[in-house]
Amino acid sequence: MSFPIEAILFVFLLITAVVIARLRDLFAAAMLTGIFTLLSAGLFTLMDAVDVAFTEAAVGAGVSTVLMLGALSLSARTEKPQPIKILPLIVVIATGSMLVLSTLDMPHYGDPNAVIHKYLAPQYIEGAQAKFGLPNIVTVVLASYRGYDTLGETAVIFTAAVGVLLLLAGGFPSRKEDQE
Amino acid sequence: MNLAHLRMRDKIILRVVARAFIPFILLFGLYVQFHGDYGPGGGFQAGVIFAAGFMLYGIIFGLESLLRVMPWSVVERGLALGLLIYGCVGVENMLMQGYFLDYSMLDEADPKHGLHLGILIVELGVGLTVTMAMLAIFYSFSGRRRK
């Protein structure tokens, strides 16, 4: 039974989130997001979502920490203390409690009779073995059954990179040298 | 990132450890890329890991050294090429009287092999675009100087 391990990970996740929100030292906060990612990746692994855990670890701990540090070197190292504002606090608490309330309607974790497991999923699981003969169902679903979606996702990543380049390319060193 | 200010390349431990680790990071990226059909992973994860290896090199040895290894023109072209590979696999299958992105016509004698081949090439395209997108964002972030 793995429930206690998941509970401990969730408690650590909560503590890390609160500490990140309260820290004034932005460098420490950026490092703590790496810990947050590690804990989430552990949780995903316990839920047998290895591919998601893999992505979380690679993107969250690897690339986004580097980008956070890059952003930090352009801004101040510590956050200025700000007074607690009442209206945003109320909005956050209201949204949070609505989200928690809505989870009560969700099917139980791992429930085989949940609606999402009744439609298409059995077809994919059988097809991945019979039609493709590949053990990793996630790859088969992503690349073939949902090939259009993945093409769209790749286009989104491409567009995002082009957008960032258009916004930030003015600071790129080789371009600067060309201009000088 | 103000790399000159950090003076990372003067730190011998970082330099030696990074030099030892980078080949393994890249090798692991390739493993995740090509073993994605059988184990966890795939193009997206592989692309991020591959880019992280280059980013580590850039952080330790400076952006100028990274630009010599992975020039800007390669990043720019690779970014578009990955997406183009993905789309072309779909169109190629259409040219062989199949459906767009169905892959089974890629090998007329053995549809199963065609499906495997299609997934492999498509994942390669995803991996290429993701690697180059991450590097492009890293380049444009670290190229900026504090005003």
Least confident stretch, A7-11, B46-50, B139-143: B139-143
pLDDT of the residue at A40: 93
Q: Which residue has the tokens 């932005």?
A: A26
In a domain, B133, yes or no: yes
Calculate how close chain A gets to B137, using CA atoms only, in Å. Answer: 6
**Chain B contact for A148 (CB, 8 A cutoff):** yes
> How many Å apart are CA B44 and CA B36, to the nearest integer?
10
Q: How many CA atoms lie within 13 A of B96 on its CB side?
A: 16
DSSP 3-state of A78: strand
Q: Are A161 and B137 in contact (CB under 8 A)?
A: yes
Q: Residue A179's pLDDT is what? A: 45
Q: What is the mean pLDDT of residues B86-101?
A: 86
Residue B125's DSSP bridge partners are none
Q: Which range, of A65-79, B42-56, B119-133, averages the lowest pLDDT? A: A65-79
Predicted pLDDT at B145: 66
pLDDT in tens, B98-115: 888 888 777 777 888 888
Least Cα distance to B98 among B111, B86, B116 occurs for B111
Residue B32 lies in a domain: yes
Structure tokens belonging to residue A115: 């609606």
pLDDT of residue A98: 95
Nearest by CB to A58, from B1, B48, B123: name it. Answer: B48
Decide if B147 is inside a domain: no
Chain A CB contacts of B21 below 8 Å: none
Query: Of the ranges A33-37, B87-91, B95-99, B117-121, which one carries the lowest mean pLDDT score?
Result: B95-99
Q: Is the ipTM of this complex over 0.95?
A: no
- Residues above pLDDT 90, as percent of chain B: 37
Residue B120 lies in a domain: yes
Find chain A residues with C-beta within 8 A of B139's C-beta: 172
**Where are the domains positioned within chain A?**
1-80
> What is the reported pLDDT for B61?
87
For residue B9, pLDDT over 70 is answered with no
Q: Is some CB atom of chain B closer than 8 A to the CB atom of A143?
A: yes
Q: Region B88-102: what's the mean pLDDT?
A: 85
Predicted local confidence at residue B8, as pLDDT: 59
Range of the domain at B118: 3-142
DSSP A122-134: HHHHHHIIIII--
Does B17 reside within a domain?
yes
Mean pLDDT by 10-residue block, N- to C-terminus, for chain A (180 residues)? 79 94 89 92 90 90 86 82 86 94 85 81 81 81 86 93 82 48
Residue type at A113? N
CB contact residues (below 8 A), chain B span 94-133, against chain A: 101-103, 112, 115-116, 118-119, 122-123, 125-126, 129-130, 132-133
Write down the pLDDT at residue A180.
42
Q: Write the CB contacts of B81 (distance below 8 Å, at least 6 apart in sequence).
A: B125, B128, B129
- Identify the CATH assignment for A1-80 out of 1.20.120.1200, 3.30.365.10, 3.40.50.2300, 3.40.190.10: 1.20.120.1200
Residue, of A140 and B1, whose pLDDT is higher: A140
Domains in chain B: how many in total?
Answer: 1
